Amino acid sequence: MNAPAKRPKPSISQDSLTNFGFKRAFGNAASGYILMFDGVGNESGRRIYIPGGSLGMHFAKLVKMQGEHTEQLILSRLSRLRSCAGGFQSYSNKRDAFEHVDIVENLRISYIIRQDTVGGLGPGIYITDIEFVNHAKGHKPGFYFVGMVDGNWIASDTPGDTVTTEHAAINGMAESLQHAAEETMPKIIAGGYKGCETKIQSKGYTLAYNPRPLYSRGTEWTTPEQKVTSADFTAQLVAKSLYDAQIGAKEVNWTIHGDGADLFLKALNKLPRHFKLNTQTLYFGGPSRAILEILDHIPLREMKLAEEFIKNQSDDYRDTFARTQLLYQVSERVKGLGPEYKLYSFKLRGDARKSRNTALTQGGIALATGLSMGGIIAAITADIPVYAAIAAGVGGASGICNTIFRIYKNAELIRNLFATHTMNPEINPHMNPHMSSSDFNSMIEAKYDGLGKSFIGVMKELGRRS
């Protein structure tokens, strides 16, 4: 019988440490590591402490077993911490001045700087986490330049680490980088900054891509905690871009769509509380509830708001709250920002009132019709004639006349209700917050050549993508 193959031990060689300036190292993955730079009695820079246990083992495996690039990336960054820890290229926790995060490529190192003795260990840098965040191809977070090429929007292949253009955006609902950068965001940006469309087309814009979380440490992200980690990593990138823009006195016009508001709020909360952002202007398209907390940052950070800084599509049934209570709450917050916002706050209040009045009617219709729509969608998707599809959806000929009448009378409403669940920006009202209800519905009917055909077209689209 052959002896079982021996697994390589995740230990760190002295040669590797020496190559990056670490002259001495103590400990192991179980007990923890102490990394020092120079000889006894001639120590310069800070000591670095890595606690034992799961973090020590993870650190050793990354350095020893994940390839030369990973080893160089981690050890070179740790080596730099002896002189630049907590510097201008690091993020600081606003609630704990000793806690910092450094980001290089997709590596994030979290650490605490202590000037006193802790648990018998002397002053130094205490590593609290080392993480690689990996995303599948087409889903890597970062800043992508998006430019117009031969009449088409094209996103760069690889992300940068900062905003390079006058206009920047954070996407919300999207299924890929191309879907967000090339199909969804350009028209939302143009709709929020009237008169700038030609300039945006000629100079392009920067997309802070907000991807769906996928993989971390080789494991698919499925738990809420893991999803928070992904959002947190992307928020660190946005926070750094805000910091860099302010320090460089660079004016940036932001367009924030849907759930992108959650990401932007996380980024704001990573900056020092009183750090000014008076070179940044904000516009929101169909935002999530995070906009309320973002508005609290406006006077504190002296950020600017676009002339009409929030737009909601009245046919967007993805979040009725956003068109009613949220819009009303925004109007109240805006009124407190100054007299220049008084008129606009009353406009938002009026929009909220209209949406609230129609939402009740829409809800009743959706409830009455929605019970049978699943079967109808499946039948239409299978190219069954509409009459037969409706009959299948309602369980036969009984009641079919009432169902057909209800759908015919409210075809536009029902169509838009289900269109919010597709990923097609040409028919999803959530992806067109800048358009009026009349313009949006005309666009869809023109696409399908009529109201009835547009209803069938949306049902087929939904069936294909479900």
Domain presence at residue 332: no
Our count of domains for the chain comes to: 3
Based on the fold, state whether residues 101 and 200 are members of the same structural domain. no
Based on the fold, state whether residues 221 and 84 are members of the same structural domain. no
Domain presence at residue 327: no
Domain presence at residue 329: no
Based on the fold, state whether residues 18 and 118 are members of the same structural domain. yes
Domain presence at residue 337: no
Based on the fold, state whether residues 116 and 228 are members of the same structural domain. no
Pick the last residue of a domain from 62, 97, 131: 131
Based on the fold, state whether residues 29 and 119 are members of the same structural domain. yes
Based on the fold, state whether residues 84 and 180 are members of the same structural domain. no
Domain that holds residue 382: 356-465
Range from 113-127, 205-219, 292-306, 434-448 that averages highest in pLDDT: 292-306
Secondary structure of the chain as H, E, C letters? CCCCCCCCCCCCCHHHHHHCCCCEEEEECCCEEEEECCCCCCCCCCEEEEECCHHHHHHHHHHHHCCHHHHHHHHHHHHHHHHHCCCCCCEEECCEEEEEEEEECCEEEEEEEECCCECCECCEEEEEEEEEEECCCCCCCEEEEEEEECCEEEECCCCECCCCCCEEEECCCCCCHHHHHHHHHHHHHHHHCCCCHHHHHHHCEEEEECCCCCEECCEECCCHHHHHHHHHHHHHHHHHHHHHHHHCCCCEEEEEECCHHHHHHHHHHCCCCCCCCCCEEEEEECCCCCHHHHHHHHHHHCCEEEEEEEECCCCCCCCHHHHCHHHHHHHHHHHCCCHHHHHHHHHHHHHHHHHHHHHHHHHHHHHHHHHHHHHHHHHHHCCCCHHHHHHHHCCCCCCHHHHHHHHHHCHHHHHHHHHCCCCCCCCCHHHCCCCCHHHHHHHHHHHHCCHHHHHHHHHHHHHHHC
Based on the fold, state whether residues 230 and 303 are members of the same structural domain. yes
Based on the fold, state whether residues 183 and 203 are members of the same structural domain. yes
* Alpha carbons 262 and 256: distance in angstroms, whole number: 10
Each residue of 71-114: pLDDT tens digit? 777 777 787 776 665 544 444 444 444 567 776 666 778 888 87
Based on the fold, state whether residues 294 and 155 are members of the same structural domain. yes
Pick the last residue of a domain from 281, 311, 341: 311
Based on the fold, state whether residues 191 and 247 are members of the same structural domain. yes
Domain presence at residue 6: no
Domain presence at residue 244: yes
Domain presence at residue 459: yes
Domain presence at residue 403: yes
CATH of the domain at 307: 3.40.50
Each residue of 129-185: pLDDT tens digit? 887 765 555 567 789 999 999 999 999 988 888 899 999 999 988 888 899 999 999
Each residue of 364-413: pLDDT tens digit? 555 454 444 445 444 444 454 544 544 444 444 444 445 544 555 567 77
pLDDT of residue 298: 94
Pick the last residue of a domain from 276, 291, 311: 311
Based on the fold, state whether residues 110 and 146 are members of the same structural domain. no
Based on the fold, state whether residues 104 and 224 are members of the same structural domain. no
